[in-house]
Amino acid sequence: MIVHSDADTEYAAERIVWGGTTNAGQTCISVQRVYHHDSLEGFQDELVRRFEELVVGDPLDEATDVGPVIHRSEAERVEEWLKEATDGGARILTGGERDGSVFQPTIIAGAEDAMKVSCEELFAPVIGVYDYSDPRDAISRAGTSDFGLQAGLFTNDMRIVDLAFDAIEVGGLNVNDVSTFRIDHMPYGGVKQSGFGREGIRYAIEENTEMKQLTLNPRPLP
């Protein structure tokens, strides 16, 4: 996720919180890394406020926003990855606590790109936040990953959109929405370790169709 200086920050924060915590962050297009322009004062605080308002608990309770991850061992793995990050100098802005298989919605700042919380798939309600001044730097860092399913970009500057679309190796770029957005008739799929081919009604049919060609050169009967 990249949030540029001209973004609607309130809308961006709302969508990022949803994209980072829906299904307890256990989706392949979950928001995990958020790069925001350094002129957006208070943006991290707004994300923290919204994360702390989330209701965590029983997924069968309609009031619950964030339930458990799929298995206790997965929650323990996330805990280990966060410890690696904090031992390396990263800071937990909110959350970071585990209760069995339930992981508190967490925001971490200052993580290095090589740390697992940045370069591996977390599959948890955890996002990392990073600031930038040059959008080319944010675009470069956003694309520095072994995975390439979808990315999101909040801006109305088509120059930034063009740069991001050309440079970030992903199957789809969502402008003014999060990476988590998809609908069934989109050509949905990724590159690099995020696979190949495209889903979506039309595209899935094409992927599963064996093409057979017939050429016909009309000639008179003898």
The domains of the chain, with CATH numbers, are 2-182 (3.40.309.10)
pLDDT of residue 221: 80
pLDDT of residue 219: 86
N-to-C CA span, the chain: 68
- Under-50 pLDDT residues of the chain: none
Residue-wise pLDDT tens digits, 178-201? 999 999 899 999 999 999 889 999
pLDDT of residue 65: 97
pLDDT of residue 78: 97
pLDDT of residue 220: 83
